[in-house]
Each structure stands twice: as structure tokens, then as C-alpha cells.
């Protein structure tokens, strides 16, 4: 079902984890649909992303797209990172099954969400960046379930 590259990034995810005191964090997705991605970035004073980490709740493709997305933005400038599209994510993984292409869109959104947070925190405007959707999960629903 998945390419070797997807399996590799799923089983050995790159840059998985958290950054303490990150420059910015973005979380996208919806637990209802089964995918949530969170991306942490450390961006230096020159606008270069010198560290990036992720956490993902989701299927194999969701984990793999997050992992490859962190590789695609690491070391880039904010402007360059903004140009990483979902297509670039799919290509870098040697393709995704059609039903899983939405995972690559989520990865693109995660980058945008982190950059939005960065722009807000620093009071700057990044050309071409739109406010990402945020709709993570419904606490009330989960608390209803007994364990």
C-alpha cells in the first residue's frame, strides 16, 4: 500500500518530539477525522529554521508526511518554508495512495500554522501566509467515555 519511503519515515520518523521553548508551534487537523499534526520550530534572528520537531496522531501516511515535511523545512528560511507544498511532500515520499493525499495537505497546513504563530509572536507579516484553521478536538466528547 505504501512506498518504501513512506514506510521508512513512518517506522523511523525524523525530527519526532518537542522543542523546549520553541519560537513557534502550529497544530492542525481534527481528531474526529483521525489526524492531528503539531509542528514546533526554532527560528533564529535571520529567519532561518534551524530546528523543527513534530508530533502526529494519525495513520502511517500522516506520520510519514509530518516527518518528511520537517526535513523539507529544516535549514530553510521562513519564506522558503512557506513554498513547501503538499505536492513537494508527496513527491519526496515517492507518492501516496489517493485516499492519503489529504495527509500531505495537513503537513503543508502544519508548516503554515507554525509560521503563523511565529509571525504573530513577533508581530511581523509573512507575505502570502493565511491564518490556518484550528479545530483540534472535542474535550467534552472524550470525557464521556468510561475506561
Partner 1 sequence: MEKKIYLDNAATTKTKPEVVEAMLPYFSELYGNPSSVYEFAAHSKKAIDEARTIIADAIGSESTEIYFTGGGTEADNWALIATAEAYGQKGKHIITSKIEHHAILHTCEYLQKRGFEVTYIDVDESGIIKLDQLEKAIRPTTILISIMFANNEIGTIQPIREIGEIARKHNVLFHTDAVQAFGQLDINVDELGIDMLSASAHKLNGPKGIGFLYIRKGIRIRSFIHGGAQERGRRAGTENVPYAVGFGKAVEIAMKTMKERTKKEIELRDYLIKRILSEIPYTRLNGHRTRRLPNNANFSFQFIEGESLLIMLDMNNICASSGSACTSGSLDPSHVLLAIGLPHEIAHGSLRLTLSDENTFEEMDYTVEKIKETVDKLRKMSPLYEDFVRTR
Q: In the bound complex, what is the minimum distance in angstroms from residue 116's beta carbon to partner 1?
A: 17
Query: Should residue 130 be labelled a site residue for partner 1 when binding is judged by CB under 8 A?
Result: no
Per-position x/- string for 47-76, each x denoting binding to partner 1 as judged by CB under 8 A, each - no binding: --------xxxxxxxxx-------------
Among residues 33, 34, 94, 141, which one is catalytic?
A: 33
DSSP string spanning the chain? Answer: ---HHHHHHHHS-TTBS--SS-SEEEEEEETTTTEEEEEEEEE-TTSBEEEEEEEEES-HHHHHHHHHHHHHHTT-BHHHHHT--HHHHHHHTT---GGGHHHHHHHHHHHHHHHHHHHHHHT---TT--PPP-----HHHHHTS--
| Contact pick of 33, 120, 122, 124 for partner 1 (by CB under 8 A) | 33
Q: Does 135 bind partner 1 (CB under 8 A)?
A: no
Question: Does residue 24 have an active-site annotation?
Answer: no
For partner 1, the closer CB: 46 or 146: 146
Asked if 18 interacts with partner 1 (CB under 8 A), we say yes
Residues with catalytic roles: 33, 103
Amino acid at each position: 500500500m505504501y512506498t518504501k519511503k513512506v514506510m521508512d519515515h513512518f517506522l523511523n520518523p525524523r525530527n519526532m518530539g518537542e522543542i523546549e521553548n520553541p519560537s513557534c508551534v502550529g497544530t492542525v487537523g481534527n481528531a474526529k477525522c483521525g489526524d492531528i499534526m503539531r509542528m514546533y520550530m526554532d527560528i533564529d534572528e535571520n529567519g532561518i529554521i534551524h530546528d523543527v520537531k513534530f508530533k502526529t496522531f494519525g495513520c502511517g501516511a500522516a506520520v510519514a508526511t509530518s516527518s518528511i515535511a520537517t526535513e523539507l523545512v529544516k535549514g530553510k528560511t521562513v519564506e522558503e518554508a512557506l513554498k513547501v507544498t503538499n505536492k513537494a511532500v508527496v513527491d519526496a515520499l515517492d507518492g501516496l495512495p489517493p485516499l492519503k493525499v489529504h495527509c500531505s495537505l495537513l503537513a503543508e497546513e502544519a508548516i503554515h500554522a507554525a509560521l503563523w504563530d511565529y509571525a504573530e509572536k513577533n508581530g511581523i507579516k509573512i507575505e502570502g501566509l493565511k491564518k490556518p484553521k484550528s479545530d483540534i478536538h472535542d474535550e467534552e466528547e472524550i470525557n464521556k467515555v468510561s475506561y
